[in-house]
A and B are shown apart, each in its own frame.
Chain A
């Protein structure tokens, strides 16, 4: 088991190196003169040349790559053209908001998705199965940005139940300010007992989380169903029936535990989806997270930001994959006790 972990870690490091190469290549692929963009449109040629030299753009490529890697590893991810702040700082500053959103969405999607999938397999070919299959296929086909807009119209404009955009009501900054400990507002408000703010934060979180959760719910339900059906067709299920065990025990314990092993992979997939799915949800709900940061950077051609987020996202994906692999091999006694 330990050897497996080490091998995976080594592999991940290799992948990360490759990723840095690709992001570096992309950054240098920029057709327009990065230096020119940095200064602005009205610069004179010699100023452009000076900035180019400052940014190290006139060095040979391998040297540039080396500097790039050195900077990345020491935490210097460049400076945003838009905010003129260090990119890494910007990213880390926006991170908690995105983590809170993705966290809420996954906390909703994973239990619900698994439950739907199990019910669907248990009552195969009956009403629950058909309903769940419909929900799943709709969930994976819905454009997140469209769903977000629809939900806004329904819950804000028509039902007046939930807020339209943002993470928290701006007025609260004065009446019940949130103590920033973790940056996760739900956690922070609970920690400081700020119940007014907690209620407001929670209300703001509902629609974005729901929107982001649609695809994961659909995918997890569908894969859990397939995985359960596979488990239920195994010899050990027939043997369990022959021993007189109840269908309930067989479904919710004996088959489910087996079925969850491949489901962890799917959960990893949905986490990966969320990494980019959050961009769209954040844009629609004006959520101050990594998504809105990146989209602004993309539209303003703020390359340092874009490359920074790309590398960050890829890093996150690698970590997610590693965790999923570890979880899977731990869940299955055949690999855990090899």
Chain B
């Protein structure tokens, strides 16, 4: 099961992910079309600035997700196989219980309508639009074990280089 991971040190804050997310959730699914749509499409992830760092925040699709637990109408649900938390627009009444419980603040509002929107991990795509758009590969779409393997390789390379440097010195 693949998830979206973030490598914080790589984010340049270009917000390409935000643009791609909005475009993917637009009617036309094209940048030039999306910019003239009314209401405009809404992004579901957010690049924030904190402590001098650029931090892309997006739904973590938590196990036993609090937004699902508090949803009174059953609009929020979690797919038992993929773990993806999604929302049924028809059932959403805009009570914002999900927004109040989300620890990452990534429940948005559909433009002009009292309905929640959130990351659906681009179910129709092989790779979510945000990951695809990220120019520095700050966003990574991988299984947890693949991601850890990648991080281990990076760490190993770093350690090996440092060790070689020390040996030379």
Q: Do A and B bind each other?
A: no
